Amino acid sequence: MLGAFFGLILFTLSGCVKQEASKSNNVESLPTVKTSAADAEIFAAQKFIEKSPDAPNGYTKLAVAYIRQARETGDFTINTNAQTAINRALEIEPQNYDAQKINASLLLTFHRFTEALEAGQKLREINPQDAFVYGVLTDANVELGNYKEAVEAVQKMVDTRPNMASYARVGHVRSLHGDSTGAIEALSLASRVADPQDKEAQSWCLVFVGSEYLKVGQIADAERQYDAALKILPDYHLALAGKGRARAAAGDYENAVKFLTQTQTRVPTTEVVIALGDVYAKTGNAEKAAEQYKLAEFIEQKLGNLDQRRLALMWADQDTKLDEALAIATREHAARKDIYTADIYAWCLYKKGDYQAAKTAIKEAMRLKTKDALFFYHAGMIEKGLGNTKAAKELLQKALQTNPTFDVLQAEKAQAALTELK
């Protein structure tokens, strides 16, 4: 994961496809969407709008229903429908508070983090007791690397309203600061207090509990969480992806391919596409691996994904298109100062041979003491490049101790580098 947590949504290829939102006031002109449990809410909102076309409430209800449908189906193009609806609500009543809240959430969805932060700050001025506002502020500050402000916002959020959304964010912030146990506790609590009628929310929490376990190499514990999520919501794409990664970490590449393929069929995210490619590469199927990597490039470059960091990381890992990878990482790092962007920037600098600049960037990435084996691996390789053998060995050992199977391909390279240093 690259830390994408904002709005409790994991973004996908389909959600990042650039589309021009319709400016028509006719709801029927919105694109057709997939069937989901949110259909009834969408239908009800459309009926409300038919009766009161000049009232903003119908459009805010429709936007919320579309956002829910996007999460349930994994088809995040539906968020463009939500944006169209909320734009209409704001045209009718620019100061409508609910519409402004939903718009702030959508700004996060479309990676407009600085605007989302500004929107959250304005909402806080209007209603400083609204927990939702602090969720926006938490997410925006996390993505921009403003971690002190994120901690303050999430504390205010959980104090104001201790519920699933606030506990989930507490878990994420704890994870960022290296508190895996605390992160698991908070995310587990989030899953327990989630609305039992909202199966996607329950499953989402369980998936991220599993991801925390997987980050520290506890594969069996991770799989139990993914299985629990799938029991609640069969074929849930995030849980299937987690199962695929867990099976790959366990060396069960046949089932890793099965689960990752199922995920890709439902929601072809760049991360899943690359993960499947890595499993194919690990098992010697170079042709299929190349197809996956080519698909990842197509997704990011041709279909307008809003976040190309994972593509830069892929190229750096493969020692290919390093100038393009560094250009992406440099651009992203200039725009946002979060630790995951700093890590990818450091890795791209390292692959270009600029070890000193890479060391500066990796220190930035590790400033929260996040328990991420990939960070330790990158830092170790950078120290190795600088000729600092002792530091390199310590960091590479730390990576493998934190999670000996942190990456299908890179963990093996970490072990080889460590062996070389002994």
Residue 249 confidence class, pLDDT cut points 50, 70, 90: very high
Helices 373-386 and 339-351 sit at what angle, rounded to 10 degrees?
30
Residue type, 36: S
Does 294 have pLDDT greater than 70? yes
Token match 């470059």: residue? 301
Selection from 233, 232, 208 nearest residue 222 by Cα:
208
Selection from 184, 245, 413, 274 nearest residue 237 by Cα:
245
Which pLDDT tens digit goes with each residue over 356-375? 999 999 999 999 999 999 99
Contact 59, 49 (CB under 8 A): yes
Residue 37 confidence class, pLDDT cut points 50, 70, 90: low
Which pLDDT tens digit goes with each residue over 178-236? 999 999 999 999 999 999 988 989 999 999 999 999 999 999 999 999 999 999 999 99
Which pLDDT tens digit goes with each residue over 51-76? 999 999 999 999 999 998 888 777 77
Q: What is the per-residue pLDDT for 312?
A: 97
pTM confidence score: 0.88
Max Cα-Cα span within the chain: 75
User: Can you list the domains of the chain with their CATH numbers?
Assistant: 1-109 (1.25.40)
Q: What is the per-residue pLDDT for 36?
A: 58
Selection from 361, 367, 366 nearest residue 342 by Cα:
361
Which pLDDT tens digit goes with each residue over 328-356? 999 999 999 999 999 999 999 999 999 99
Selection from 252, 263, 214, 193 nearest residue 10 by Cα:
263
Average per-residue pLDDT for the chain: 90
Q: What is the per-residue pLDDT for 72?
A: 77
Q: How far is CA 69 from CA 39, 164, 245, 254, 348, in A?
A: 7, 19, 25, 32, 37
Q: How far is CA 81 from CA 88, 184, 236, 315, 376, in A?
A: 11, 34, 22, 33, 41
Question: pLDDT > 70: what percent of the chain?
Answer: 90
Instruction: State the Cα angle at 275 between 269 and 280, rounded to 5°.
Output: 130
Q: What is the per-residue pLDDT for 306?
A: 66
Mean per-residue pLDDT, 410-418: 97
Residues in the chain: 422
Which pLDDT tens digit goes with each residue over 114-159? 999 999 999 999 999 999 999 999 999 999 999 999 999 999 999 9
Burial of 149 by CB count in 10 Å (0-12 exposed, 13-18 middle, 19+ buried)?
middle
All residues at 6 or more sequence positions from 305 whose CB lies less than 8 Å from its CB, including other chains: 13, 16, 270, 299
Dig out the tokens for 207 from the structure.
């998936």
